[in-house]
Amino acid sequence: MADEKCEFLRHTLATLAYRGGKAVRGANEEFAGFSLGESPKTPAMILAHIGDLLDWAVTLAEGKQAWSNSAPLPWEQEVKRFHAALKKFDDCLASDHPLAASPEILFQGPIADALTHVGQLAMLRRLPGAKMKGENYAQAEIVSGRVGTEQKAPKREFD
């Protein structure tokens, strides 16, 4: 059962990579620094937080829980960090090593939080004029282990 749960988590990470990749693809430094109001999180800060969540997930899975608050890197580097953190976590889940944290804890904590923040990035894309198209994600080709930038093109997008 744990193997099935790990495979589901890996598919969830691939979904995070697909949706997160779409939310950051084509965005630039101007978008990275966009903010609303007095002291909200910028997209770069949100993406850095997602990277921290994924790093934390690995430490949870390995039984060495550790958290860090990373300062945002330049946008393109932060995007690379996002995919590298996904890869590291996916590799951890794909390994033969037993998880120190249950799949449920890994999902309800870092993964669910990361999915929430990807939604924030997608929403923010519409505000500064860096709109991204919507998509029927049920038709997307999402494959466990595909957590880098090499995502398949959308099958059905809409405005």
17 vs 40: which has the higher pLDDT: 17
* Average pLDDT of the chain, as a whole number: 94
What does the alpha-carbon distance between residue 53 and residue 37 come to, in Å, rounded to a whole number? 25
What does the alpha-carbon distance between residue 51 and residue 69 come to, in Å, rounded to a whole number? 10
* Span 105-126, average pLDDT: 96
Residue 1 has pLDDT above 50, yes or no: no
pLDDT-derived band at 110, boundaries 50, 70, 90: very high
pLDDT at position 134 is 87
pLDDT at position 38 is 78
* Span 109-122, average pLDDT: 97
Residue 14 has pLDDT above 50, yes or no: yes
Residue 70 has pLDDT above 90, yes or no: yes
* Span 1-24, average pLDDT: 93
* Span 82-102, average pLDDT: 97
What does the alpha-carbon distance between residue 119 and residue 134 come to, in Å, rounded to a whole number? 12
pLDDT at position 2 is 58
